[in-house]
Structure 1
Amino acid sequence: MAAEQTRRRGAALEADILDAVWEELAEVGYGRLTMEGVAARARTGKQVLYRRWPNRAELVKAAMPHRTGFLVDQLPDTGELRADVLAMLRLMVERQREIGPDVIRGLLAEAHELDPKVFGIMYDILLTLLQRAVGRGEIPTADLPRRVVTVPAQLLRYEMILSRGPVADSVLVGIVDDVYLPLLRGHG
């Protein structure tokens, strides 16, 4: 008598799907990743995936924190703006290493398919770091244009697109010391 299979639902099914995303990415890469391949690996129907995620970019975006955690949960608080921003950029580079440049480039190429809210996450994170710096008296205000607030993340994304491997720490230091901190001082 065959063992009766129970139907997976909710968190258990979602975890299996998100695990399957990483297995598929490791085997076929982002360029050849399909909803059908993930569904087959997760032993579910592709309609189950499409009910939760409208496209592969959203599916992979959902799988990222499943694998690496949420950046907002790892928000640095070193007591100094420069060190906080560098720590955040280093976390982003570490995520690039864990996730792989192929996936990062694939997601960036399909950024137009992602929910626009995803791009607000780095604004919120960097704004929090700036508000802390205001509280410590390091900068006069965090009331800055959105583009100014997100400059470090945008420059790092640019470097990730251009680089063949993880972005060097010296590049991160340059983003903070040569661009971001002088920009903030100029807006003070």
Structure 2
Amino acid sequence: MDEQKKGTRRRGEILEEAILNATMDELAENGYSHLTMESAATRAGTNKAVLYRRWANKSELVMAALRKWIPTTNIDNIPDTGSLRDDVVAYLRARVEPVKTIGPQTIRGLLMEPQVWRTLVAAMPQIIQRRSENKENKMTAAMMVILKKAELRGEVRLEKLSPRVISLPLDLLHHELITKQEITDTAIAEIVDGIFMPLIHAARQ
């Protein structure tokens, strides 16, 4: 569509939202491997030059769309089932839901992009520094909320848990995502029941 001829020339956030909407629709209908800058532009009713002024390539466009439309961690919306085990399972399942929306094919496609790997590698020093300084990100903060509630119920002794143990369920979830690109309920149960909860029980001794 020629926006100027139609008299509906869009700019700024309105245009960007239309492009990111179109990108998500293209992902849902055609998958990452078939999505192109041109196909996203056509669906958005603009031209690919507009996209290239904002994003250097397809992977940057897709990641921008995912950041906008995939829900982020809400510290005020944390499971409270009355059981540490069930809280952690419910929380990990909630973290997986956006991944199901994206689909394993999109994740696999992104992980194969050199630009994505360069971004991940560049971010590693900051991630390691945050861990060494024990700075909490939103997901680790959510785990702390779950654990503090469990401590009040007498299920855990927080002073016995290292930051590595606290972040372990999320770390294993991320590892599963990177290596398998798909996370099942069975995998979540194995992370919680086979690894995390035994460490929690050992820390109570």
TM over 0.5: yes
The separation in 2 between residues aligned to 1:56 and 1:186, in whole angstroms, is: 47
Please identify, of 58-67 and 167-176, the stretch whose mean Cα deviation from structure 2 is larger: 58-67
Q: Deviations over 1:19-74 (max 9, x none)?
A: 12212323553345555654454326124423xxx765554344335444223264
Unmatched tracts of structure 1, length 5 or more = none
Unmatched tracts of structure 2, length 5 or more = 128-136
Please identify, of 12-21 and 142-151, the stretch whose mean Cα deviation from structure 2 is larger: 142-151
Question: Residue 54 of structure 2 corresponds to which residue in structure 1?
Answer: 49
| Bigger Rg over Cα | 2
- CA 1:49–1:79 in 2, change beyond 3 Å: closer, same or farther? farther
| 8 A contact 2:79–2:90 mirrored in 1 | yes
The alpha-carbon deviation at position 87 of structure 1 amounts to 0.6
The separation in 2 between residues aligned to 1:139 and 1:67, in whole angstroms, is: 36
Q: Deviations over 1:90-137 (max 9, x none)?
A: 123332222101122344553542584997443233233223323443
Please identify, of 166-175 and 34-43, the stretch whose mean Cα deviation from structure 2 is larger: 34-43
- CA 1:142–1:99 in 2, change beyond 3 Å: closer, same or farther? farther
Secondary structure at 2:32's aligned position in 1? Answer: coil
Secondary structure at 1:71's aligned position in 2? Answer: coil
Question: Residue 72 of structure 2 corresponds to which residue in structure 1?
Answer: 70
| 8 A contact 1:81–1:130 mirrored in 2 | yes
Instruction: Note the aligned Cα RMSD (angstroms).
Output: 3.5
Given the alignment of the two structures, is residue 137 of structure 1 paired with residue 187 of structure 2, yes or no? no
Question: Residue 20 of structure 1 corresponds to which residue in structure 2?
Answer: 22
The separation in 2 between residues aligned to 1:78 and 1:65, in whole angstroms, is: 29
In the superposition, the TM-score normalised over structure 1's length comes to 0.72
- CA 1:62–1:147 in 2, change beyond 3 Å: closer, same or farther? farther
Q: Deviations over 1:129-179 (max 9, x none)?
A: 223323443211167444322221222233334447x43322211211110
- Counterparts of 1:1-188 in structure 2 under 5 Å? 3-10=6-13, 12-31=14-33, 33-35=35-37, 37-42=39-44, 43=46, 45-50=50-55, 56-57=58-59, 59-64=61-66, 66-72=68-74, 74-108=77-111, 110=116, 112-114=118-120, 116=123, 120-141=137-158, 144-163=161-180, 166-188=182-204
Q: Report how many residues are paired.
A: 182
Secondary structure at 1:150's aligned position in 2? Answer: helix
| 8 A contact 1:105–1:160 mirrored in 2 | no
In the superposition, the TM-score normalised over structure 2's length comes to 0.67
Secondary structure at 1:90's aligned position in 2? Answer: helix
